[in-house]
């Protein structure tokens, strides 16, 4: 269940069933879409506020946190993916000691994660240019043809992600697609 809406500011947003049905601030939030201009570039921004990041990362035990699907840059079913410890893992920590070390890292830091964007269906000749943000740390521009590989992103933001948390324990991650000049 996703509902596209239009806000009075001219920005659009996506509400997911999770954000509609829950008042729990730790619940996974939907992706908010807006337009922006940074350094003279017109951008289409998709922001995902992850409530109670440390708690969610403990729950996924090393596997990726994945946003609800959204539409941006003329493409559908996009997802932002956060991988703790700066790498993709197919399995989380297994031994009790590994789980304890992982829990300590996601609670106390330093936490070095990676942020990726997944574009499952992209025309073969389309190369997207985009920036990625974790809190106030912005990286890019990146260029990628998602028809060749559906996932791309940044493995090193050079910051402790826990130092990027908002006062409520949430983390704002973002992809900004550069709009093509008309």
Mean pLDDT per block of 10 residues along the chain (182 residues) reads 35 33 46 92 95 88 89 94 70 75 86 93 90 96 94 93 94 94 60
Please name which of 12, 55, 8 lies closest in space to residue 30, comparing C-alpha atoms: 12
Q: How many CB atoms are located within 10 Å of the residue 167 CB?
A: 5
Using DSSP's 3-state secondary structure scheme, residue 148 falls into: coil
Using DSSP's 3-state secondary structure scheme, residue 133 falls into: strand
pLDDT score of 100: 85
pLDDT score of 181: 64
End-to-end CA distance of the chain: 33
pLDDT score of 17: 31
Q: Measure the CA–CA gap between 156 and 139, rounded to whole angstroms.
A: 9
pLDDT score of 14: 35
pLDDT score of 135: 95
The full length of the chain comes to 182
Cα–Cα–Cα angle for 48, 12, 68, nearest 5°? 35
The model carries a pTM of: 0.79
pLDDT score of 16: 33
């Amino acid at each position: 269940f996703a509902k596209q809406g239009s806000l009075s500011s001219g920005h659009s947003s996506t509400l997911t069933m999770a954000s509609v049905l829950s008042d729990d601030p730790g619940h996974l939030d939907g992706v908010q879409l807006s337009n922006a201009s940074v350094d003279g570039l017109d951008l289409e921004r998709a922001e995902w506020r992850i409530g109670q990041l440390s708690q969610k990362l403990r729950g996924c035990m090393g596997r990726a946190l994945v946003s609800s699907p959204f539409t941006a840059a003329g493409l559908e079913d996009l997802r932002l993916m956060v991988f703790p410890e700066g790498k993709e893992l197919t399995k989380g920590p297994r031994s009790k000691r590994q789980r304890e070390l992982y829990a300590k890292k996601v609670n106390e830091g330093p936490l070095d994660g990676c942020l990726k964007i997944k574009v499952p269906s992209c025309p073969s000749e389309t190369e997207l240019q985009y920036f990625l943000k974790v809190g106030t740390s912005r990286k890019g521009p990146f260029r990628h043809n998602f028809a060749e590989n559906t996932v791309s992103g940044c493995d090193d933001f050079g910051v402790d992600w826990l130092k990027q948390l908002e006062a409520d324990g949430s983390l704002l991650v973002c992809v900004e697609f550069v709009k093509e000049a008309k």
